[in-house]
Amino acid sequence: MKIFRKPIFTGFAPNLAKSDAWIAASFLLFPWKWFQLKIGKNAVRAEQWLKNYFSVKHCFVFDSGRSALYFILKSLDLKPGEEVLLQSYTCVVVANAIIQAGGKPVYVDIGDDFNMDLADLEKKITPQAKVLLIQHTFGKPANLDLLLKLAKKYNLFIIEDCAHALGIKYNGKLLGTFGDVGFFSFGSDKPVSCGRGGAVVTNDDGFAEKLFEFQRTLPSAKLGKVLQHLFSFIIFFISKPVYNLGVGKCLLWCAGRLGLINKIIYPKEKRGRAVKFYPSLLVNSLATILLNQLRQLDVFNNHRREIARRYQEKIENKKIHLPNQEWGDVTWLRYPILIAEPERLLASAKKDGIILGNWYDVPVAPKDADSSVVGYQPGTCPKAERLASQSINLPTDISISFKDAEKIIKLINYF
């Protein structure tokens, strides 16, 4: 019976394992750990881990990728009207960070690989352009050879948005180390997750000094927010296996109503506004979960590659457009497919207990965000608009077994 089938999710805390839920529970249950909820050594340990991993001089952790980007841009001291070039087919919080740091977002169209289109980029560079934000969408490296050349030609500061790409190499070198600075996200649907977190890596000493100053004066997260994140781990861990039974759905709904689980994007952020409780430091309890996840990074990424390889080899439905084989062995955070009327496939999969992903169904996602307040004008990125209207993504995370992948492949081939 359908209700007893293991549910398959694309989002919903995909990397969450028993050990993460246990760490979260231990911080809530054991009084001697209450003193370490916010303060402790693990945020610094996470910075050290990332510094070693990337072989960089500096790393700073923050509450999220959006805060990391905000402080990078604040460090640049942008003047009114100075432009930050970013690709469309992105998340509204990226654009918010640009505006809140005093920059003007300029949206560049994308190519078939969901990354920035070079020809459109060159057309959109004006004398006010100061920063190039290079996104590696879904973990597919952008065309760095050409993008870096162009950035040099126009004297642009280069930021790599590696929110989807942790531990991924381009020409043998880790993404995040090509630009002047790179940032990462440890949000719940990212390559590794601690509920909410982000980091910046750089080799630039002067820049690092400014970031250090911002980090040093930043408040810790509010206790209510920390507890919400920790409860989320436990609630998701309990609810996911029994989701199809209805109990899980009910538990999630109740937890949401009671404010026990965190939101990925707050309603205010969808209207281009800042929330009052962020930016903040990355707290010790979440950094503990981050370290636990970072240790599994290679296992996660190898698994993603293997699941994606199966999709690539076995999806045969002619109505579906798959990523180009010539892109090689990409570590897809989510495996992107294109189909006319994606809603029909999403609905059909849902009936089978499979929740597929919809990143990104509009050029500045999510759909209920007001993209006009972050300066996106419809028609300016036609390819992003077209791909967004056809996008579906398949899960590649560690909770997806080979059997789950087979189910998804079967569903798609018979659709």
Ligand X SMILES: Cc1ncc(COP(=O)(O)O)c(C=O)c1O
Q: Residues interacting with ligand X, by CB under 6 A?
A: 64-66, 90-91, 93-94, 135, 161, 163-164, 185, 187, 198
Cα–Cα distances in angstroms (integers) from residue 55 to residues 50, 58, 130, in the given order = 8, 9, 27
- The minimum distance between CB 135 and ligand X, in angstroms, equals 5
Q: Which is nearer to ligand X, 334 or 407 (CB)?
A: 334
- The minimum distance between CB 207 and ligand X, in angstroms, equals 19
- Which of helix, strand or coil describes residue 107? strand
- The minimum distance between CB 299 and ligand X, in angstroms, equals 22
Q: Which is nearer to ligand X, 118 or 275 (CB)?
A: 275
- The minimum distance between CB 268 and ligand X, in angstroms, equals 14
Q: Which is nearer to ligand X, 141 or 187 (CB)?
A: 187
Q: Are 195 and 233 in contact (CB under 8 A)?
A: yes
- The minimum distance between CB 101 and ligand X, in angstroms, equals 14
Q: Which is nearer to ligand X, 198 or 363 (CB)?
A: 198
Q: Which is nearer to ligand X, 121 or 320 (CB)?
A: 121
DSSP 114: S
- The minimum distance between CB 184 and ligand X, in angstroms, equals 8
Residue number, nearest CB to ligand X = 65
Q: Are 221 and 281 in contact (CB under 8 A)?
A: yes
Q: Which is nearer to ligand X, 156 or 165 (CB)?
A: 165
Cα–Cα dist 279/168, whole Å: 27
Strand bridging mode 104-108 / 181-185: unpaired
Among 312, 306, 362, which Cα is nearest to 336's? 312
Give every CB contact of residue 214 below 8 A, 6+ residues apart in sequence.
Answer: 71, 74, 75
Q: Which is nearer to ligand X, 93 or 354 (CB)?
A: 93
Query: What backbone torsions phi and psi does residue 229 show, to the nearest 5 degrees?
Result: -65, -45
Q: Which is nearer to ligand X, 68 or 230 (CB)?
A: 68
Q: Bridge-partner residues for 84, per DSSP? A: 105, 131
369: left (phi over 0), alpha (psi -120 to 50) or beta: beta
Per-position b or e across 284-303, b if 16+ CB within 10 A of its CB = bbbbbbbbbbbebbeebbeb
